[in-house]
A = this chain, B = another copy of it.
Amino acid sequence: MAQPLRIALAGLGTVGAGVIRLLESNRDLVSARSGRELEIVSVSARDRSRDRGIDLSPYAWEDDMTAMAARDDVDVVVELVGGSDGPALALARNAIDAGKNLVTANKAMIAHHGMELASAAESAGVSLKFEAAVAGGIPVIKGLREGAAANAIEQIYGILNGTANYILSTMEATGADFSSTLKDAQELGYAEADPTFDIEGVDAAHKLAILAAVGFGAHIDFDSVDCEGISRVRAADIAQADALGYVIRLIGMADIEMGDAAAPVLLQQVKPCLVPKGHPLAHVTGATNAVVAEGNFAGRLLFQGAGAGDGPTASAVVADLIDVARGEIGAPFSVPSGELVAMQPAESGGRVGQTYLRFTVTDKPGVLAEITAAMRDADVSIESLIQQGRANDGGEVLVAMVTHDGPESGVSKAVELLSGSESLTAPPLVMKILEE
């Protein structure tokens, strides 16, 4: 058997502890599949004294984690510190510059600095691997980068945030409203004390930008992700969707269009959407993640599993380590970073499809006429319209409608026409309807 793969592990939160536990409990099979031992030689974290329930005494402790990059006895650095910049990025840069392989679970760092790190890793002839950065334990980076490698990927979309999916599917099951469901989720540990990144779609956007780069061979462009969260989704929207044959899910979606100049442009959106009940994503409940990739030969591929948690994330980290141990060094984003294409972001509004709109309006005559007139003037054709019979406590009435297939730009125009209206008590909630 070859020499052990010597690992420096930075960051000892739940995932770091999970990696240590996994390498202990699955030691024999990991060695058999790697063709060599995986040996942690050095660890580092902010707080040495914290009780993590694991014995750290076998590993050399480094107070300064960036010093791990310089150790002669290390082949690969595992970065589990988190944060797009700061110590994580400093460690990643130093490790690669020192000729170490880098494995990371840090989606924010890859979404912001993945291009730079990939280019550096290629120059240094080392691996940069980040399976754990997207969708936890689901091997979707490998699925796109290798499993679907023979395909032109036409579209990538999915449920990329477990917290948001837990909240939406719980609202669906209980009929409860967003704020109380979020509160319960926080108490149960499914949502963080500050849930902003999860419920506003930022976490999903990080993952989407990474998937798009791998799948389409494009420059990572996190800043262009058009991002909207789930905090405005009401129990009434879920009930309406249900009556119409849909569920509501926070969907990250990326695809390629030919722009005006016939150069491909990249659409990246994270938004709550209506998903037909016959679609596989409609049945993804709880904190589960699921990613669909449509390939031009493979057709629709679905990868589903636990999107977070120490066990699943550790599984992905160690899968990357096994790849490194096997010597499987390849381009981090499937093609060499110099060949990744810088694509312009797609103008939103170019798509054709059905849309769900929900208005909160004052309970007075003429409101429906005003809304439907705006639709007419924007050339939006309405398939169905439901007005709730009774005003809620605030004297507010909900009007929901589904359009026929039509350009999204028409819907945007209708919303704009209504933007000054005194009949609307809040901006309308607009959700795309996924095709089955």
Contact = CB atoms under 8 A, between A and B. Distances in A.
Given A26-B297, A137-B295, A319-B147, A330 B326 contact: yes
Contacts of A26: 150-152, 296-297
A321 B297 CA distance: 15
Given A149-B33, A150-B322, A304-B280, A315 B298 contact: yes
B300 A306 contact: yes
Contacts of A339: 32
Contacts of A98: none
A109 B18 CA distance: 40
Interface centre among A33, A137, A145 (most CB of B within 10 A): A33
B298 A306 contact: yes
A385 to B, nearest CB: 30
A243 B291 CA distance: 31
Interface string A291-310: 00001111111111110010
A325 to B, nearest CB: 10
B147 A142 contact: yes
A148 interface: yes
Contact of A334 (B33, B142, B300, B321): B33
A18 B280 contact: no
A94 to B, nearest CB: 26
Contacts of A331: 33, 35
A326 B32 CA distance: 22
Given A32-B335, A283-B283, A315-B151, A146 B323 contact: yes
A338 to B, nearest CB: 11
Contacts of A316: 150, 298
A428 interface: no
B150 A318 contact: yes
A314 interface: yes
Given A29-B152, A150-B319, A297-B315, A303 B306 contact: no
* Identical chains bound together, number: 2
B150 A139 contact: no
A143 interface: yes
A121 interface: no
A137 B18 contact: no
A138 interface: yes
A150 B295 CA distance: 27
Contacts of A143: 139, 142-143, 147, 303
A297 B32 contact: no
Contact of A280 (B138, B147, B283, B326): B283
B32 A315 contact: no
A319 B149 contact: yes
A315 B153 CA distance: 12
A375 B325 CA distance: 55
Given A319-B146, A319-B147, A319-B150, A137 B304 contact: no
Contact of A314 (B131, B150, B311): B150
A296 B205 CA distance: 29
Interface in A146-174: 146-152
Interface string A242-281: 0000000000000000000000000000000000000010
A297 B25 CA distance: 10
Contact of A150 (B35, B299, B315): B315
A217 B29 contact: yes
A36 to B, nearest CB: 12
A139 B305 CA distance: 15
Contact of A312 (B280, B297, B304): B297
9 contacts: A33-B331, A33-B334, A35-B331, A149-B318, A149-B322, A150-B322, A280-B280, A298-B311, A303-B304
Given A18-B297, A142-B146, 7 more contacts: A26-B151, A29-B217, A138-B298, A138-B301, A283-B283, A297-B315, A326-B328
